[in-house]
Amino acid sequence: MSAYATHEGKSGHEEPWMSAIAIGVGMILLGVIILATSQGMHSFIHTTEGLDHAIYIGGMVACALLVIFGTIGILVGLVNTASGGGYGDDDHGEDGYDEHAHHGSWSPIIMAFGIMLFLMGFIKWNHNGDFGILGLGLVITFAGIANWWREDFGNDGKSEPIAFGEPFGGIEVRKVGMWIFLMSEVMIFGSFFSSYLRLRTGWTTHWDVKCDAFGHGTPCPDGYVVVASELINESIWTLLPGAINTFALILSSFTLVTALSHAKKIDWQKPTGKLTGWWMPDQRRAVRNNLVATLFLGSLFLVLKLIEWDHMMNGAHPFTIDTLAGSVFYVTTGAHGFHVFVGLLVLLFFSFKAQRGGWSPDNAQSIEYFGLYWHFVDLAWVAIFPAFYLY
Amino acid sequence: MLGRKAAILVLVAMAALIAAPTMTSLPTGIDSMGDSGCTCHGDSSSATTIVVEGLPENFTAGQSYDFTLTVVNDGMALWQDGDAEAGWNGRSGGFRVIVSEGTVTGDSTLTQELKGGLTHTTAGNKMRSWNLTWTAPGDDSKVVEFTLLGNAVNGGDSSNGDQWNSITTSVPGASAGAVTSSAPPLRILMTAILLSVTLLVLAVMYIFYSRNPEGFSLATFWDYLKGWLTTTDHKGIGLLYFAYGFFFFLVGGSLAMLFRIQLMFPENDFLEYAEYNSFFTLHGTTMIFLAAMPMIAGFGNYIVPLQIGAQDLAFPRINALGFWFIAFSCILIFTGVFTGEAADITWVMYPPYSSLTGDSIYANSPGTVSFIAGMIMLGASSTLSGINFIATIFVMRAPGVTWMKMPLFTWSFLISMFMLYLSLPALIVGVLFLYLDHTIGTAFFAINAGDPILFQHLFWFFGHPEVYVVIVPAFGIVSEVLATSARRSIFGYKSMVYAMAGIGILGFVVWGHHMLTSGMDPTLRVVMMATTMLVAIPTGIKIFNWLATLWGGALVFKTHTLWALGFVITFTLGGISGMFFPVVGLDMQFHDTYFVVAHFHYVLIGGTVFGLFAGLYYWYPKAFGRKLSERLGVIHFLISFIAYNAAFWPMHVVGTMGMPRRTHTYSVESGYASLNYSISVASFIFGLAQLILVWNLVYSSKKGEKIGEDPWGGWSLEWTTASPPPTPSFAEIPTQGDDNEHEERGWLTRMAAKLWGLGMKKEVRH
């Protein structure tokens, strides 16, 4: 605990939430700078086909992510400033975090309302380009999430509920819940995979025909569909993102576990190596830097993913979403990307909390439970990548 | 005081009734692709004006009127200044006319009928003025609304640069009153929502006021309301769930009454076929997802933590999130009703009909797409509940509540939640595909490129477990009620648990019997036939266990006992009619006839609803500290039971006669008329009888007989806490003492213990 003593000021409730707003504004500015740079470079490098497009799309996606992160940072700051910086409506501040306290929460009703507006607005937006309801829904949903975070900033892990009775006696309840949740996630991806198998094995399509779609070998019969894996070595811009992404995700699992192990250490000591010492000068920054690295690697995954999608859609052999092959490919990899994105939102919250010195060995198990989800998302990618890209 | 409050409420209700008719008049409001303007040509532009000449001041019934529609735009330059050599494609204008009454026609080479309105053909594209004819409707007491859209086209290679505009005008009939204009659909939607929320708040405010008339103020009322909106307590959420589900049970019932009026007489025209399609779609979805599931979730929320001796669910906030998802999903599901285009894709939502997009005249309306979005929210809600309940039952059982001493209702709920959360992902993914087909243009179920059967597999992989999800908790309730009423423990506790678990497992391998006529491998048909028939075995075990419980007990006839006995009778009948469908040859004949309707209403009303009513009479005293009136309860049961059987039994007969389901009318010659008449009359009686229950719920909450902790002599933990229970529900975690006699060892174990002196220690009991 001694390592935290020097950061008491950081972890208390006294510090105003202006820093969250400042970080948020900084992120949006960085996003705008990246966008401007990439658009500028885009107009210079139009000789190298591929690189040109990659910079163009990559800049836009990176900017979009940073703007979303920044907006949430500002919302968190505003929500906390508005509520006087306390945690929850009532007794969270004094009694600590208690999953069982009957204090009530506004977050569920706000989030559910926001998601309803989002689903409604998404239809409207696709129908006639009207962004109003969609945007409103997103803002309300994020406000609900920000409020949920506010209630959880005070979780010091002192009253973690523990299971009793068989078969899970002695295990934290939230961990059990996470495993049960992951089972339903397995069923979600199982549904995507079984749909894909049904379509791919030719029960209803011509996909099982072995031929050369691009005309170098056996010509393909009529009705044959081009699939993603045939396009994978079309160009470096479809080959490389998948390769880098796989390692980015696996590496991000490592950095997350590193953050966990540093947050869990009771007698933390500064690493002796020169690089590791610079990377982890004290316990707070050791946790924060590793969390931010995870956030960065996850964001990198999404940026590269969209660069790859862009090249598949607009390459020499367009692979579009209005075919069955395209539908199942983009929706399944998109659903995985959505899971990564949700993970990034949690990581953002964790990073904010780490910045304020909010992690201690008592509450670091939250990182572990999120880690279960994050590893699951990695694992899903390890299954999706060979099935959709290589086969 | 009460009289004045009631008078105000009646006045508000009457204002709502007066406002209601304007909600149906939506000639300009239909928000189909194309009706919201020429959106493919960009935004509307005030540079274009539309001139109409020849429409009358007042119309006479049946008369035809010639009129001219002209698009004027002097400021716009034609593409390449109208030089065909340089790329001008010769087009200069387009139009669209929608009328609320009567028909508009024009030269067939220049104009065409499209999606309920008139528009130009390619040939009609080359001019800016069109001569049209409007034939007035036969009733001249109406006001006819005209929506006229005109587009000034520049004839370029894309639709960029075109400038369109629209006007609306109305022509009253000779005997119509003053012209009233109609509001845009969004305003009507918001009005309807605000009106119902206002009514709801007023009603809640009245309840709060009547509790303590002296201490009433807006601030205390807001605190009270805020408590309900932000509650994370399992009892509060349980009551919200039940109230929500019961409200929609009445809504779904009213929809059924409406189409029973339509089916009362052959060739009836009370409902249009489109209205009929929407009504039975909403009836099915409402009853399954917005009525049965929330009512079951209500019981689960309220009773399960009490039965296992837990203070709350494992994740209270997630629980609240699940409720609010389901609460808001109803807006998405019913939006189409307010904008005039309700979903008509049935609760099974089969593509390709449900995935039609684009220019087809059958293309789904935004109301349908939002219905599909509502299904995604329902799926998310139930997944969250499932995770929460499984975690709770696994980790929060009090000392003494071991697996084989857990009350049967908790067991049934655990099994049903397992089935729900493992099967729902398939539905979510299937419905997501459908939603994306409609929005971002994927091709999963498209007619020419997609695979509609895939949706049927995904849907029924969820759909069959789903019907067990709504019936298995009713098994649990009936087991509890019968055992308590027979004043003994349930017969064959272990076999009950294994039978329910067996149904839970079998439920995942029988979905194909819904698709026997969809085009399936004959081998798979036989496999699905065998697995489906296997379900009869665990179900039979349960029915015999209930009968054996009655046999060995001394039965006390309370209202909940009557409902449970009624359940055993009707559910057995429904189970037997269910055994006809897995037989492939019979199913080919019965599929999509009223025989199917009869079967699933026998298991869903006679099973689920009767079971829930038994639970309601049984546990109402626990939640409110007062009994429901037994006298009203018996009347409610007798009328409902007789009317219910009179309504649904004849459906077996019309089904075997061949009457198809999901069809809005039948011919005089078909011979279905007399049976349908009696079905309708009986169903009205059944519907009205539910008002007795509504009155009983309200009346008994104030005037019911007060009770202590355990009015019925139940043995499980929920009867050891006060009625209503405090928050948290138990001051300290209780210990369950009653071992409910199912721990006795069988003769084989006893003999083995004697023979080899294994000396199995008796388990220490508290």
User: Annotated catalytic sites of B, by residue?
Assistant: 283, 312, 347, 381-382, 464, 466, 468, 479, 513-514, 539, 542, 661
Q: How far is A239 from chain B (nearest CA, A)?
A: 24
For A152, nearest residue in chain B (alpha carbons): B317
Same domain (yes/no): A127, A246:
no
Same domain (yes/no): A59, A111:
no
Contact call for residues A233 and A239 (beta carbons, < 8 A)? yes
Tally Cβ neighbours within 10 Å of residue B138.
10
Strand partners, B144: B171
Same domain (yes/no): A75, A129:
no
pLDDT of residue A6: 36
Asked if the model's pLDDT at residue B149 lies above 80, the reply is yes
Burial A4-13 (b: 16+ CB within 10 A, else e): beebeeebee
CATH number at residue A341: 1.20.120.80
More confident residue, B121 or B559: B559
Lowest average pLDDT, out of A137-151, B101-115, B520-534, B661-675, goes to B101-115
Asked if the model's pLDDT at residue B593 lies above 80, the reply is yes
* Residues found in chain B: 766
More confident residue, B444 or B189: B444
In a domain, A99, yes or no: no
For A185, nearest residue in chain B (alpha carbons): B425
Same domain (yes/no): A247, A276:
yes
Query: What is the ipTM for the molecules in this complex?
Result: 0.88
In a domain, A391, yes or no: yes
Asked if the model's pLDDT at residue B184 lies above 70, the reply is no
Give the mutation candidate from B41, B164, B318, B328 for the A interface (greatest A CB count, under 10 A). Answer: B328
- Nearest beta carbon to residue B429 from set A107, A120, A195: A195
Contact call for residues A119 and B436 (beta carbons, < 8 A)? no
How many Cα atoms sit within 13 Å of B179 on the Cβ side?
A: 14
* Residues found in chain A: 391
pLDDT of residue B726: 86
Q: Is the peptide bond before A221 cis (omega within 30 degrees of 0)?
A: no
Same domain (yes/no): A69, A136:
no
Element containing residue B595 per DSSP (H, E): helix B594-603
Q: Is the peptide bond before B724 cis (omega within 30 degrees of 0)?
A: yes
Q: Is the peptide bond before B352 cis (omega within 30 degrees of 0)?
A: yes
Task: Identify the domain containing residue B140 by its residue range.
Answer: 22-175
User: 3-state class of B128 per DSSP?
Assistant: coil
In a domain, A222, yes or no: yes
For chain B, what is the domain count? 1
Q: Quick check: B397 and A184 CB within 8 A?
A: no
Burial B698-725 (b: 16+ CB within 10 A, else e): eebeeebeeeeebbbebbbbbbbbebbb
pLDDT of residue B34: 44
In a domain, B308, yes or no: no
Model confidence at B17, pLDDT cuts 50, 70, 90, reads low
Asked if the model's pLDDT at residue B242 lies above 70, the reply is yes
More confident residue, A97 or B406: B406
d(CA B672, CA B652): 12
Asked if the model's pLDDT at residue B181 lies above 60, the reply is no
d(CA B61, CA B713): 72
Same domain (yes/no): A141, A256:
no
Q: How far is A106 from chain B (nearest CA, A)?
A: 5
Q: Quick check: B442 and A183 CB within 8 A?
A: no
In a domain, A83, yes or no: yes
Same domain (yes/no): A50, A120:
no
Q: Quick check: B387 and A166 CB within 8 A?
A: no
Q: Which residues contact A42 (CB under 8 A, 6 or more apart)?
A: A52, A55, A56, A59
Same domain (yes/no): A142, A213:
no
d(CA A129, CA B311): 49
Asked if the model's pLDDT at residue B31 lies above 50, the reply is no
d(CA B200, CA B188): 18
Asked if the model's pLDDT at residue B559 lies above 90, the reply is yes
d(CA B34, CA B36): 5
CATH number at residue B154: 2.60.40.4060
Q: Quick check: A177 and B314 CB within 8 A?
A: yes
d(CA A210, CA A231): 15
In a domain, A219, yes or no: yes
* A216 Cβ under 8 Å from any chain B Cβ: no
Q: How far is B329 from chain A (nearest CA, A)?
A: 7
Contact call for residues B713 and B554 (beta carbons, < 8 A)? no
Same domain (yes/no): A316, A231:
yes
pLDDT of residue B293: 95
In a domain, B343, yes or no: no
d(CA A307, CA A51): 10
Residues in chain B with CB shorter than 8 Å from the CB of A150 are: none
Average pLDDT, chain B: 84
Amino acid identity, position B240: L
Strands B49-53 and B163-172, sheet pairing: unpaired
Q: Quick check: B373 and A123 CB within 8 A?
A: yes
In a domain, B400, yes or no: no
Q: Quick check: A191 and B424 CB within 8 A?
A: no
Contact call for residues B335 and A120 (beta carbons, < 8 A)? yes
Share of chain B above pLDDT 70, in %: 86
Asked if the model's pLDDT at residue B5 lies above 70, the reply is no
B321-349 per-position pLDDT tens digit: 999 999 999 988 988 777 667 788 889 99
Residues in chain A with CB shorter than 8 Å from the CB of B457 are: 198
In a domain, B123, yes or no: yes
Quickly tell me which residue has 């509502």 as its tokens: B374
- Nearest beta carbon to residue B451 from set A104, A163, A199: A199
B residues 396-415 lying closer than 8 A (beta carbon) to A: 396-397, 399, 401-403
Burial class for B282, CB neighbours closer than 10 Å (0-12, 13-18, 19+): buried
For B388, nearest residue in chain A (alpha carbons): A177
Q: Quick check: A324 and B230 CB within 8 A?
A: no
List per-residue pLDDT tens for chain A, 391 residues long: 333 333 333 444 445 577 788 888 888 899 888 888 888 887 776 656 677 778 888 888 899 899 888 888 888 787 777 665 444 443 333 333 344 444 688 899 999 999 999 998 888 888 777 788 888 998 899 888 888 888 887 777 777 888 877 777 788 899 999 999 999 999 999 999 999 988 887 666 666 566 666 666 666 766 666 777 777 777 777 788 888 999 999 999 999 999 999 999 888 888 888 888 888 888 889 999 999 999 999 999 999 999 889 888 887 777 888 888 889 999 999 999 999 999 999 999 899 888 888 888 888 999 999 999 999 999 999 999 888 888 7
pLDDT of residue B500: 94
Q: How far is A43 from chain B (nearest CA, A)?
A: 25
Share of chain B above pLDDT 90, in %: 44
Structure tokens at B391: 């975690």
Model confidence at B682, pLDDT cuts 50, 70, 90, reads very high
Structure tokens at A237: 């811009």
B residues 324-363 lying closer than 8 A (beta carbon) to A: 324-325, 327-329, 331-332, 335
CA B353 to chain centre: 19
Q: Quick check: A99 and B403 CB within 8 A?
A: no
Q: Which residues contact B364 (CB under 8 A, 6 or more apart)?
A: B343, B345, B354, B355, B356, B357, B438
Same domain (yes/no): A46, A118:
no
In a domain, A158, yes or no: no
Contact call for residues B418 and B338 (beta carbons, < 8 A)? no
Structure tokens at A348: 């953002």
pLDDT of residue A84: 55
In a domain, A159, yes or no: no
CA B163 to chain centre: 43
In a domain, A128, yes or no: yes
Please spell the DSSP secondary structure of A303-356, one letter per residue: HHHHHHHHHHHHSSS---TTSHHHHHHHHHHHHHHHHHHHHHHHHHHHHHHHHT
B41-72 per-position pLDDT tens digit: 656 777 788 888 888 878 888 888 888 888 88
- What is the side-by-side strand order in the sheet with B129-135? B49-53, B64-72, B129-135, B103-106
- Nearest Cα to Cα of residue A89 among A147, A143, A128, A35: A147
Residue ending a domain, choose from A32, A58, A87: A87
Same domain (yes/no): A245, A305:
yes
For chain A, what is the domain count? 3
Amino acid identity, position A8: E
Task: Identify the domain containing residue A55 by its residue range.
Answer: 8-87
Lowest average pLDDT, out of A140-144, B155-159, B307-311, B460-464, goes to B155-159
More confident residue, A84 or B120: B120
* A115 Cβ under 8 Å from any chain B Cβ: yes
Q: Quick check: A195 and B727 CB within 8 A?
A: no
Please spell the DSSP secondary structure of B512-561, one letter per residue: GGGSTTS---HHHHHHHHHHHHHTHHHHHHHHHHHHHHHHHS-----HHH
B609-625 per-position pLDDT tens digit: 999 999 999 999 999 99
